[in-house]
Structure 1
């Protein structure tokens, strides 16, 4: 009796284990990569030879993060899948749900927040034998963004078995929800496309009395068709007829295409359209419908509507406001410290240093803008502050800030009183230090999307290169203007506290401000590369700290020259190793 019970238990346990295993094979183990969790799931329990079945990538995002649609808009990259399938299987195109509009840094992007499921149909050949295991593997890559972006990837696998019929899996409801987000394949109206000057005009006419929404927006399937960040207008042109106008992209103006495809969206639904572009439309300027209003209002909206003069004013004020943004304050604290120590300098010296600092800021803004515009011209979809999307750049900047902080705290000194790039070894080095501090303020301040900066930077990357460079140059002038003003009127510095012993305490306190910047950059590195990247960065900072201590301990005038040179060589080697290790 006992033996029979044990045999029955073993059989039931084996059967239960097989059922659990079979169920688990219908979805890949979820992969967590930073702000993204992704799974590969199947809609059915088996593969029927000769029939099509569906799999999907099921993404879940942390709050405020987003992925990109197939046309990411003004910046970003879409989800990409590289399939590894056995012979007899062929994957179709991704079925993209209708996107959302997501403004980031003045740029209009198209994507998804919170969660999205991307369905992919797979066709099975008739030649499969029943009971054959069918492994499905996907290499997935994406770009996920909040205020900054980080690339991600995952290797996902699942295994199904061929059978004469397939039942719905436990994931069928997820697929149904995903299909509900797909655009409808037909519209309830007659839609035609024409070109009017530099605008794409979609004419929408009622056919069966169906009301035309007043909040329609058009997403082009491909980049380079319309300008995503430009305002779209919806105008009534007659009874039961409206026209939606969108600015054509520069690429479309240079190489016009004969057709346009995309999604019409309103709060009441989404509709896919695929149209031939007809003859030029009649020029009409009717009143706007209620739903089409400029994105910027008030002071900002007034300046935006003034054209180039307003854009330049907006850029200047935006740069000025950057001086109080958290990511710039640690750098500016060093400049304030420099002003305190030079409160007795002549007007000529003040102008020289103010001019050098301003030149450092403006030259750096122009250089960053030139790189940004050049990359966008060759098809890269990036926005202002793109340098903080580079893990290697973030590592180098973190190490530099860490060394600045150690210097302020007294771990090491260079010359008589070197503060990183702001050295006072000689008058010449002092000017170079002011220029270098301007460079640092620009590089760190550029990614800050403070008030006004977002709108004008979006305009700058959409207009021609000359105007774009001018806008960013003026923004740099705004960032540098407070210190340039104090240089023009050096007597104002007299109202600042007089230099004294107390400044040593202030200097050390400012070291903690820079350490706060190091913490912020470590967070950025973690978002870009995950926990492993943060661990590598912390090890690099440990080695860099050792290098700084060796330099401050043995590379001092009281030590023999040979000892100083040896300490300098060891410190440099450790510093190079630390940076290389983290990169």
Structure 2
């Protein structure tokens, strides 16, 4: 019976993937609607083509964001914090979308932070071009299908990332002017190009900006300055401006921890009369740039490479391989993987004195682990190369995947407890295949082990994995393969060591008792997964998922009945299962959109991009805890070192501001901050002090190490 459970595991994993896809489709209305509405924003895909479609005609697409009162989204450069709206287009052949033509932003104050963005309703227009490949004849019958995937961040007292998938069908021969007024207003809010010259001179830790050629009516007026490049100036610091004849000048302080040294800085100046844009050439030598965790926006590929370079050059491929191997070994000690190892111990015992069976089982399990790590690592590298901001353990950032794994472990637990017999659920041909090919079970158990173990970032893994994503494909693959080999090595040694067989008792009735006992680690894993789900989505989604698990148990028990009772109760159980599945998906979707990440304990503040720079500019040190609810090492450090009264007293004595960057759910700004330190996962602990380089501490944080780092700060 237990030999066949992994076929059901594969079905449950597929369910999880499908649930994740279904959630994404629900969040974005499956790409078929032009409108996506959340509690905070109404987003709509609109088009403007007054002369119809085709070459040499003015055509615009746009995303209109209508914010609820108190909420705002962000400009190209969000300022001290935030992320700009990002658009990914899927257009017919020959139809090309340019970059967003950003309307002039507004400055928003949040405490000491200064942000650039939009409140109320804003339309982000995108000009469209047509290449020679475009043909109206291809779209005469069905029209042009425009698809858009958009991501935007909205903030009030809290910040919530939102996204949507939009679809819009455009008639090819008609003019489209229903939203013409909105497009004209947005295009009218574009900054005009300055006709005169402009330059920026570096003067110590400040930039001296000079802009000539502005409209004569502006002379003597105060202007607002918006740099298009994030992370260059300190947006929240005070700055001065004056007129030297008809040349506007300003002295603007640099960011405390600047991440870029551009040769040209595009800037926008605004007043009540409108806006003006210029690209100012930089003269002078930039002060040394310091990598920072306070990244305002996701860095470009080139910037990320430069930020990772200091650590990458200090870490050879051989040290990375060693770190990956040791990290894989340590993964076997993580609580989240112990239930899967319990399954392997039971399977190992069933082989008894069959040495060949144990060895084949060990090799199959190792193959499942290694190949899964290689596949997962290649997926992370591929997604990051494509511009997606994902990191190690990203699969547990999906609430639907968490719910699917909870369902999977519930099914396994019910099977071990004897409530569910897969022999009653699967065709006889499947069971016969199981009997002839038990090696499939061993391979799939390796896949399952990686699915739940990989997010448990263990000591020595962080730097190796961060290094891996910067390497050529072959070398990166080697690191992920060695990581899997490290995790599989203990089981391989046990399978190929004769002494291991002599330590095992002979197969017998005790194995049935052991099998039922192992049901409880499976159910304990369900408790952990539901806790993670609760931090991601809230109590309603947890209750709905628990209802689904109860319905699953009822359905499983119904299969053990016979005769009329099985038919009647089975139909009832299927109806309850369908209803609770729909309820769980709905509540998970609602919680994914609206529920913040794990709550903060007293003394800690939420991290966001730019906050570190702002605090350092006030002369205060900062300690940042990059964490996630599904990271077991993170939780251990929280309950031990980071809760130690002596450590907390030392933080208070030195006036250290404590920030917590919660990565439980996907957050592009946290992913970018991790990447700036050459990391792809959590935990990561960074201590900042004004005027000093950031200090990265160990993944398994000790009182001694942290107190030693704090001793270097003045009281």
Question: What is the CA-CA distance between 1:140 and the residue it aligns to?
Answer: 5.8
Once residues 417 and 345 of structure 1 are traced to their aligned partners in structure 2, the CA distance between those partners, rounded to angstroms, is: 29
Partner SS, residue 552 of structure 2: helix
Higher relative CO (Cα under 8 Å, sequence separation at least 6) belongs to 2
Partner of 2:322: 313
> Is the Cα–Cα contact under 8 Å of residues 365 and 442 in structure 2 kept in the other structure?
yes
Once residues 378 and 317 of structure 1 are traced to their aligned partners in structure 2, the CA distance between those partners, rounded to angstroms, is: 30
- Give the counterpart of 1:387 among 386, 392, 395: 395
Partner SS, residue 552 of structure 1: coil
RMSD of aligned C-alpha atoms? 5.0
With over 3 angstroms needed to count, the CA separation of the structure-2 counterparts of 1:503 and 1:91, relative to structure 1, is farther
Residues 1:476 and 2:484 are matched in the alignment: yes
Higher mean displacement: 538-547 or 519-528: 519-528
- Give the counterpart of 1:378 among 386, 405, 408: 386
Question: What is the CA-CA distance between 1:442 and the residue it aligns to?
Answer: 0.7
Question: What is the CA-CA distance between 1:467 and the residue it aligns to?
Answer: 2.5
> Is the Cα–Cα contact under 8 Å of residues 78 and 296 in structure 2 kept in the other structure?
yes
Residues 1:223 and 2:232 are matched in the alignment: no
Question: What is the CA-CA distance between 1:542 and the residue it aligns to?
Answer: 1.1
Once residues 415 and 556 of structure 2 are traced to their aligned partners in structure 1, the CA distance between those partners, rounded to angstroms, is: 8
Residues 1:442 and 2:517 are matched in the alignment: no
- Give the counterpart of 2:522 among 514, 519, 540: 514
Partner SS, residue 324 of structure 1: coil
With over 3 angstroms needed to count, the CA separation of the structure-2 counterparts of 1:56 and 1:329, relative to structure 1, is same
> Is the Cα–Cα contact under 8 Å of residues 417 and 515 in structure 2 kept in the other structure?
yes
- Give the counterpart of 2:357 among 335, 349, 352: 349
Residue segments in structure 2 that go unaligned for 5+ positions in a row: 1-38, 42-68, 88-102, 121-151, 164-232, 240-251, 264-283, 586-715
Per-residue displacement from partner, 1:2-33 (whole Å, max 9, x unpaired)? xxxxxxxxxxxxxxxxxxxxxxxxxxxxxxxx
Question: What is the CA-CA distance between 1:182 and the residue it aligns to?
Answer: 2.3
Written as runs of structure 1 = structure 2, the 5 A alignment for 1:25-36 is none
With over 3 angstroms needed to count, the CA separation of the structure-2 counterparts of 1:184 and 1:312, relative to structure 1, is farther
With over 3 angstroms needed to count, the CA separation of the structure-2 counterparts of 1:458 and 1:429, relative to structure 1, is same
TM-score (norm 1): 0.51
Once residues 399 and 337 of structure 2 are traced to their aligned partners in structure 1, the CA distance between those partners, rounded to angstroms, is: 20
Question: What is the CA-CA distance between 1:345 and the residue it aligns to?
Answer: 1.2
Question: What is the CA-CA distance between 1:551 and the residue it aligns to?
Answer: 1.7
Residues 1:433 and 2:434 are matched in the alignment: no
TM-score (norm 2): 0.43
> Is the Cα–Cα contact under 8 Å of residues 71 and 220 in structure 1 kept in the other structure?
no
Once residues 337 and 365 of structure 1 are traced to their aligned partners in structure 2, the CA distance between those partners, rounded to angstroms, is: 23
Residue segments in structure 1 that go unaligned for 5+ positions in a row: 1-37, 41-54, 59-68, 83-89, 98-114, 125-138, 154-178, 196-201, 206-211, 231-245, 250-293, 296-300
Once residues 530 and 342 of structure 1 are traced to their aligned partners in structure 2, the CA distance between those partners, rounded to angstroms, is: 44
Once residues 463 and 96 of structure 1 are traced to their aligned partners in structure 2, the CA distance between those partners, rounded to angstroms, is: 41
Per-residue displacement from partner, 1:451-495 (whole Å, max 9, x unpaired)? 112222222223333322221121111111111122222442321
- Give the counterpart of 1:553 among 549, 555, 561: 561
> Is the Cα–Cα contact under 8 Å of residues 56 and 120 in structure 1 kept in the other structure?
no
Partner of 2:338: 329
Partner of 1:182: 236
Partner of 1:92: 105
Question: What is the CA-CA distance between 1:406 and the residue it aligns to?
Answer: 0.9
Per-residue displacement from partner, 1:194-253 (whole Å, max 9, x unpaired)? 79xxxxxx9556xxxxxx9x97859665534477777xxxxxxxxxxxxxxx4489xxxx
With over 3 angstroms needed to count, the CA separation of the structure-2 counterparts of 1:72 and 1:523, relative to structure 1, is farther
Once residues 216 and 537 of structure 1 are traced to their aligned partners in structure 2, the CA distance between those partners, rounded to angstroms, is: 42
Written as runs of structure 1 = structure 2, the 5 A alignment for 1:456-471 is 456-471=464-479
Once residues 491 and 448 of structure 2 are traced to their aligned partners in structure 1, the CA distance between those partners, rounded to angstroms, is: 15
Partner SS, residue 463 of structure 1: coil
Question: What is the CA-CA distance between 1:387 and the residue it aligns to?
Answer: 0.6
